[in-house]
Amino acid sequence: MESKLIRNLRRRLPPHRLLCLGPGDDAAVLSMANAEECVVTVDLLMDQVDFELDKIDVRRAGRKALAVNLSDIAAMAAKPIAAVIALALPRSGGLDLATKLYDGILPLAETYDVAIAGGDTNSWDGPLAISVTLIGSVTENGTMRRSGAKSGDKILVTGSFGGSILGRHLDFEPRVNEALRLNERYDVHAGIDVSDGLSVDLLHIIEESGCGALVDVSAVPVSKDAERLAERLGNRMTPLQHALTDGEDFELILAVPPSEAIRLLADQSLGMEVAQIGEFVDDLGMWKIDESGERAPMIPMGYQHRFD
């Protein structure tokens, strides 16, 4: 029953300094920590689309539901504040499912100091759907946006890419703290998180910025998972192709001026790997350059939800 779930959650949810009024009323009341601007993001995740509950621990699905929103907040270089969570639960076993989802959500919320401010619950004869709306505050350094890349900026990326479907799409660590440090220390012109695929998310930056991109494909960090997935699938795609097109890596793509890029790449205190994979250019479009120096058009590919 919904009322039982709400009672259980109210007992479990820890107090938070920014939460003036939490679950139990018609709406939450937040102290926005004197933030002049806030960012708001929402993601809807569904069983059999974003995870398969019959194959994984339910807690991993709950964790992912919050983590993907934290990754969006990281892409904006904002500080997460509070989340509201809406559940569409299957009628059979819904209470136990919701309890386990929160077992995955709450530890991650504590890690990033996120107040769980409330939400909504429904039941139906379909599969689980979970929607998390996350609110964040803009720091004094402003936001990173997709629209700021300039010709001559270097394309930097965090981490490595490809093969996340082998498990990393559930267990990744959002780059919240790293993005805040980058935005504080460096002049970053633009940023985005890689949710749909490295090449297609890079396309989003150049479309919003009105420039082009030249990618040195030999410099793209290819994950071990991409290599394993390519082998498992009979090498229908190369590890590099997986790195360029697989979704849900949740790493960052950054547009950084050349002098800043040199400093950033030499910074050993960031706690993550950062690589330069190309540069933004005047000509609209995307190109790739290989080890031989040959330049060719690059077709961006990645995941998209499809519907009529």
pTM over 0.85: yes
Q: Does residue 1 register a pLDDT over 60?
A: no
Q: Does 24 have pLDDT greater than 80? A: no
Task: Give the pLDDT mean for 219-231.
Answer: 97
Average pLDDT for the chain? 92
Q: Which residues fall within 8 angstroms of residue 109, CB to CB, at 6 or more apart?
A: 66, 83, 115, 116
What residue numbers bound the domain in which 166 lies?
Answer: 146-297
Last residue of a domain, one of 138, 155, 172: 138
**Do 175 and 195 belong to one domain?**
yes
CATH number at residue 123: 3.30.1330.10
pLDDT surpassing 70 at residue 308: no
- Residues 128 and 209 placed together within one structural domain of the fold: no
State which amino acid sits at residue 61. Answer: A
**Taking the CA atoms of the chain, what radius of gyration do you get in angstroms?**
20
Considering the chain, what percentage of its residues have pLDDT values greater than 90? 80
Q: What's the number of domains the chain is made of?
A: 2
288 secondary structure, DSSP code = E
Region 266-292: mean pLDDT is 93
Q: 263 and 160 share a domain?
A: yes
User: Does 58 lie in the same domain as 84?
Assistant: yes
pLDDT band at 33 (very low <50, low <70, confident <90, very high): low
More confident residue, 20 or 226: 226
Do 107 and 187 fall into the same domain?
no
Q: Using CA atoms in the order 34, 82, 75, 46, what is the torsion angle rounded to 10 degrees?
A: -160
pLDDT per residue as tens digits for the range 142-165: 999 999 999 999 999 999 999 999
Kindly provide the b/e burial profile for residues 201-229, where b requires at least 16 CB atoms within 10 angstroms of the residue's own CB. bbbbbbeebebbbbbbbeebbbbebbbeb
Q: Which residue spans within 35-194 are E strands per DSSP?
A: 38-46, 78-90, 115-124, 129-138, 154-158, 190-193
The owner of tokens 């993001």 is: 41
Structure tokens at 46: 């569904």
pLDDT of residue 127 exceeding 80: yes
What CATH number should be reported for the domain holding residue 287?
3.90.650.10
**Does 50 lie in the same domain as 33?**
yes
Do 288 and 154 belong to one domain?
Answer: yes
Does 3 score more than 80 pLDDT?
Answer: no
Q: What is the pLDDT of residue 25?
A: 62
> Is the confidence at residue 209, as pLDDT, over 70?
yes
